[in-house]
Structure 1
Amino acid sequence: MGIDDITSKAKEFLESDQVKGMLDSEQAEDISDKVLEAVAEAADKVTGGKFSDQIEDVKSNIDGAIGTDRD
């Protein structure tokens, strides 16, 4: 499973109506920012920085779909 597959599945999951309602909150924004940053840092470390741009793109896409801080 590649980065594109993960991005596609995450987007599909986040677009469901039930999930949208739960994720559209200030609390979800705060939690997601912390989790996404930690996961992105871990992924970057594991890959030796080889996929930094792709990891940042995935992080940004997910962050834009969660909470109240929309791009």
Structure 2
Amino acid sequence: MSEGSAFDKIKNKVGEHSEKVEQGVDKLKDFAKEKTGGKYDEKIDQAGDKATDYVSGDQGDDQQDQGGSGEQGRP
């Protein structure tokens, strides 16, 4: 068996192609906004921004915030 888990392999590939992944996230945001008729644009933008930050490695303080309130820690 090769070294590293499947998740580690995926993370490495995402890191290698982060620009394409970010473009995909932007397309998904636009699609979701269109399908929801603008009703959830703010939430969609927040989720997309978090995904883009994760891909680029710029997670900031969000990792530390995922414990206390119960809502932040949900997947």
TM superposition score normalised by structure 1: 0.61
**In the comparison of the two structures, how many residue pairs are matched?**
53
- Distance in 2, matches of 1:32 and 1:24, equals 9
The 8 Å contact of residues 29 and 69 in structure 1, kept in 2 or not, is answered as no
Query: Which residue matches 2:32?
Result: 43
Report the TM-score when normalising by structure 2.
0.59
Higher RCO (CA-CA < 8 Å; seq separation 6+): 1
For structure 2, list consecutive stretches of 5 or more residues without a partner in the other structure: 1-6, 60-75
4+ residue runs over 6 A deviation: none
The percentage of counterpart residues that share the same residue type is 15
Greater fraction of residues in helix: 1
